[in-house]
C-alpha cells in the first residue's frame, strides 16, 4: 500500500471523475499536475495552485503543449510517478451518420491524446525504471454492444488494447499499466459537453435513438457509480505492488464483463472445430 508521497499527472481534471480524483489525491498529501483547456476551470473546481497542485492549460491535441506540460510537472515536483489519461468524450451517432471530422476528432481526443501524453512521459518513467500508467476507458471499451455509439466504443477499445500492449512493453522496466472500465458514473458527463451527438441523424435506426434517449433522459442523474468511490478505487489500484491490468468499476461493469466472457466462450466452443481446421494439416 501507499507509503510515500507521489506525483500524479491527470488529464481532463476540471470536472467529473478527474476533478474528484485530483481533490482526493491532494487531500491525502500527494502532488498533482492537472490539465484542462483553461487554468481557470481547474482552479474553480479544485483551488489555487500550491506547492502540491499545479494546474496546467494544455491542448492535448498539440504535441508541444503536452511536452511542455510534462516537463513543467517534473521541474515543479522533481519527478513523475503516476500518469492518468482521463480526458475524453462520448460521440453518439450511427456509423454511417458520423462525418469524417466527427470520427477523427473523437479518436484524436480519446486515443491520440493519451498516446501523446505517453510518448512524452514514458521516457522519464523508463529512465527511473518505475511508474504507473492508468488509462480511463469505459465498460463500452470491453462490452461493445451499444447501438449508435460505434465511434466511442471503438475509441475505448483502442485505449484498452493500447494499455494491454503497453503493459507487455514496459513491464520488465518496473512500469505498471492499468485500464479502468467504469460503468455508468453519476457525474456531469452527459450534460457537460462531454457528449457529442452526430449532426446528421438517421431516424430509421430506432435502437440508436432509443439508446441516446436512455442516456439523456432516464440514465442521467441516476447512474449507479459513485465518482468519489471510483476515484478511491483508482488510488487503491495505484497503491498496491501488483496492480490489476483490467479494473472494472461498479457492479454494472463487472456484470457486463462477465456476460461478455460467456458470450465469447460460447462462440469459441461453437466454432472451435471449423476455426481450428483453417490451420495447415500436420
Tell whether 278 is covered by a domain. no
Kindly state whether residue 1 falls inside one of the protein's structural domains: no
Alpha helices in the chain (DSSP H): 16-27, 39-45, 63-77, 100-107, 113-128, 150-170, 206-213, 227-239, 251-276
Of 240 and 213, the structure prediction assigns the larger pLDDT to: 240
Residue range 74-106, pLDDT digits in tens: 999 999 999 999 999 999 999 999 999 999 999
Q: List the one residue out of 197, 196, 201 whose CA is nearest residue 97.
A: 201
Does the structure show a pLDDT above 70 at 116?
Answer: yes
- Structural domain contains residue 120: yes
**Residue scoring higher pLDDT (218 or 106):** 106
Q: Domain span at residue 163?
A: 7-272
Question: In the predicted model, is pLDDT for residue 29 greater than 80?
Answer: yes
CB 132 within 8 A of CB 175: yes
Q: Residue 200: pLDDT band by 50, 70, 90 thresholds?
A: confident
Give the confidence band of 204 by pLDDT, cuts at 50, 70, 90.
very low
* 237, pLDDT greater than 50: yes
Per the structure, the count of domains in the chain is: 1
DSSP 127-174: HHT-EEEEEE--GGGTS---TT-HHHHHHHHHHHHHHHHHHHHHGGGT
Cell of 128: 527511473
Catalytically annotated residue among 124, 152, 181, 205: 152
Instruction: CATH number of the domain at 29, please.
Output: 3.40.50.720
Q: Is residue 277 part of a domain?
A: no
Cβ count near 273 (within 10 Å): 8
User: Does the pLDDT at position 148 exceed 80?
Assistant: yes
pLDDT at 59: 98
Closest Cα to residue 253, out of 111, 108, 109, 156? 156
Say whether 61 sits in a helix, a strand or coil.
Answer: coil
The question of whether 152 is a catalytic residue gets the answer yes
In a domain, 119, yes or no: yes
Amino acid at each position: 500500500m501507499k507509503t510515500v508521497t507521489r506525483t500524479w499527472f491527470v488529464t481532463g481534471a476540471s470536472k467529473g471523475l478527474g476533478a474528484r480524483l485530483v481533490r482526493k489525491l491532494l487531500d491525502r498529501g500527494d502532488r498533482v499536475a492537472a490539465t484542462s483547456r483553461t487554468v481557470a476551470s481547474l482552479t474553480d473546481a479544485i483551488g489555487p495552485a500550491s506547492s502540491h497542485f499545479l494546474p496546467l492549460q494544455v491542448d492535448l491535441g498539440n504535441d508541444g503543449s503536452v511536452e511542455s506540460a510534462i516537463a513543467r510537472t517534473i521541474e515543479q515536483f522533481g519527478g513523475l510517478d503516476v500518469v492518468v489519461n482521463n480526458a475524453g468524450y462520448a460521440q453518439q451517432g450511427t456509423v454511417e451518420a458520423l462525418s469524417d471530422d466527427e470520427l477523427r476528432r473523437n479518436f484524436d481526443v480519446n486515443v491520440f491524446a493519451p498516446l501523446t501524453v505517453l510518448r512524452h512521459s514514458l521516457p522519464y518513467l523508463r529512465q527511473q525504471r518505475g511508474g504507473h500508467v492508468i488509462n480511463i476507458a469505459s465498460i463500452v471499451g470491453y462490452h461493445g454492444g451499444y447501438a449508435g455509439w460505434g465511434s466511442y466504443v471503438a475509441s475505448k477499445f483502442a485505449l484498452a488494447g493500447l494499455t494491454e500492449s503497453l503493459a507487455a512493453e514496459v513491464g520488465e522496466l518496473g512500469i505498471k499499466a492499468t485500464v479502468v472500465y467504469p460503468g455508468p458514473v453519476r457525474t456531469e458527463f452527459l450534460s457537460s459537453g462531454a457528449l457529442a451527438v452526430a449532426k446528421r441523424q438517421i431516424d430509421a435506426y430506432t435502437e440508436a435513438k432509443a439508446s441516446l434517449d436512455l442516456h439523456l433522459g432516464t440514465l442521467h442523474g441516476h447512474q449507479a457509480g459513485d465518482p468519489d468511490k471510483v476515484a478511491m478505487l483508482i488510488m487503491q489500484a495505484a497503491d498496491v505492488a501488483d496492480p490489476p491490468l483490467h479494473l472494472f468499476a461498479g457492479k454494472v461493469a463487472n456484470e457486463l464483463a462477465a456476460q461478455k466472457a460467456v458470450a465469447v466462450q460460447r462462440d469459441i466452443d461453437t466454432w472451435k472445430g471449423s476455426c481450428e481446421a483453417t490451420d495447415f494439416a500436420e
